[in-house]
Amino acid sequence: MRSAAGIGLRAPHMAAFERQRPATGFLEIHAENYLVHSPLLAKVEGLRADYAFSIHAVGLSLGSVDGLDESHLARLARLVKRLQPELLSDHVSWSIVGGHYLNDLLPLPYTEEALEVVVRNVGRLQEKLRRQVSVENPACYLRFSHSTMSEPEFLGEVARRSGCGLLLDVNNIHVSAHNLRLDPQAWLAGLPGEAITEYHLAGHAVNDADGEPILIDDHGSRVSAAVWALFADVLQHFGPRPTVVEWDTDIPALSVLLGEAAQADRVLAQREVSDGVRAA
């Protein structure tokens, strides 16, 4: 798939897509919004002929000790079969325990035990869907003292052992680095670039945590200047990939979102030009 920038397709923009078919690299949808029949699913199917698609799941809970929910997995498999997306992903996190779904991408300790759980679950997912999936680095607000690996080491091992790809969320790198006092450059240096299949960009909020600023991955604003700069660094490290701009709260006019994607396209194109110059 071409390393163009696309957007997360959200319900308020559906009518504009149906009417105008605006140009964008590709469309990414959240799987869980399309697992039941609704007029929205029919609309997405109607767009399929004109756009490349990515299905981004948020609810598989790849870090759950109890394994994947097979009925949820079966529903996802049906959606994948219907839409035949070019890209497919979920997160390195957990959200289900004891039959409760917590609607959050909760942090894992980066231990051998957690690694085996994620690898097993990603393996089951890829086996069921009979294709490679990618897993995304989460936005972190805390880390566990008993972690034995860094996050890049953990992600790299998940990719190596399961054969999955990595979806690099650049905003999440920035958010986690700030919240956990990490050096984003060192973080990038620890990652196996060949496993990366896709990038995400989004805005974040700054909240107060007992008097200290904490960054929240709320997908509710423009991509920050710091994240654009980090995106350029990411491209320098790993090269261009398909890139999605996500916006989920305080969703703006479609033109604003497409403008952010156009900016991402410009950064991707600059990288391709300079790569080309270097190759020549």
Partner 1 sequence: MAFALRELQSVFVAHLVDGERPELIAAVAGDSIPAAARLRVHRHHLFDSLAIALAATFPTVQRVVGEDFFRKFARLFVAANLPVQPVLSEYGANFAAFVELNESVHALPYLADVARLDWALNVAFHTADVSRLEPAELEGLSMGALAAAPLPFVPGTTLLHSAHPLDRIWAASQPAATEGVILDGNGARLLVFRSGEDASFLALGESEGVFAAALIEEKTLEQATESALCADPAFDLPKVFTRLLAAKLFAATQHK
CB of 82 to partner 1, least distance (A): 12
**Long-range contact set of residues 270-276: C-beta below 8 Å, sequence gap at least 24:** 270/232, 271/232, 271/235, 271/236, 271/239, 271/240, 272/3, 272/240, 275/239, 275/240
Instruction: Let me know: does 265 contact 5? Beta carbons within 8 Å.
Output: yes
Interacting residues with partner 1 (CB under 8 A): 32-33, 35-39, 42, 58-61, 63-66, 69, 71-72, 75, 94-104, 106, 108-109, 111, 113-114, 117, 141-146, 179, 181, 207, 209-210, 212, 214, 216
CB of 171 to partner 1, least distance (A): 16
CB of 148 to partner 1, least distance (A): 9
CB atoms within 10 A of CB 99: 7
Question: In terms of CB distance, is 48 or 75 closer to partner 1?
Answer: 75
Question: In terms of CB distance, is 98 or 276 closer to partner 1?
Answer: 98
Question: In terms of CB distance, is 38 or 185 closer to partner 1?
Answer: 38
CB of 233 to partner 1, least distance (A): 25
Q: What is the CA radius of gyration of the chain?
A: 18
Question: In terms of CB distance, is 144 or 186 closer to partner 1?
Answer: 144
CB of 38 to partner 1, least distance (A): 5
Q: Could you give the 3-state DSSP secondary structure of residue 90? A: strand
CB of 254 to partner 1, least distance (A): 19
Question: In terms of CB distance, is 52 or 140 closer to partner 1?
Answer: 140
Q: Residue 159: which residues within 8 A CB-CB, separation 6 or more?
A: 135, 165, 166, 192, 195
Question: In terms of CB distance, is 116 or 194 closer to partner 1?
Answer: 116
The rounded Cα 165 to chain-centroid distance in angstroms is: 11
- C-alpha 220/C-alpha 203 separation (Å) is 6
Question: In terms of CB distance, is 141 or 228 closer to partner 1?
Answer: 141
- C-alpha 234/C-alpha 168 separation (Å) is 9
CB of 268 to partner 1, least distance (A): 31
Nearest 5°: CA angle at 249, between 99 and 223?
A: 115
